[in-house]
Structure 1
Amino acid sequence: MTALALTDTQLDLLAAAGGAAPSLHNSQPWRFCPTADRHGLQVRIDSSRAVPITDPDGRALHLSVGAAVFNLRVAAAQLGRTATVRLLPDPADPQLAAELDLSAPAEDRRPFGPDLYPAIAHRHSSRRPFSNRDIPEQILGDLVDAARAEGVDLAVLEEYGVRRVLELTTEAELRTAADLARQAETRSWLRPEGPTADGMPPAVLGPQDHDARVPVRSFTGHPPTRPAPPTERFEPLPQLATLATRTDHPADWLRTGQAMERVWLLATVHGVRASVLHQAVEWPDTRWRLREPEDGPAHVQLVLRLGYGPPGTPSPRRPVGEILDDTHPAEPHLPTG
Structure 2
Amino acid sequence: MKAAFFREHGGLDRVEHGDLPEPVAGPGQVRLRIKAGALNHLDIFVRNGMPGIPVALPHVMGSDGAGVVDSVGGGVTRVKAGDEVVLNPGINCGECEFCLSGEHSLCVSFHLLGEHVAGTFAEYVVAPAVNAYPKPAGLSWEEAAAFPLTFLTAWRMLVTKARVKPGESLLIVGIGGGVAVAALQISKLLGLTVFVTSGSPEKLDRAKSLGADGGIDHGKTDFAREVRKLTGKRGVDIVLDSVGKATWKQSIAAAAKGGRLLTCGATTGPDPQTDLGRIFWNQLTVYGSTMGTHAEFAGMLKIFRDGKVKPV
Give the TM-score, by structure 2 length: 0.25
Q: Larger % of strand: which?
A: 2
Give the TM-score, by structure 1 length: 0.24
Greater relative CO (CA pairs within 8 A, separation 6+): 1
Q: Larger % of helix: which?
A: 1
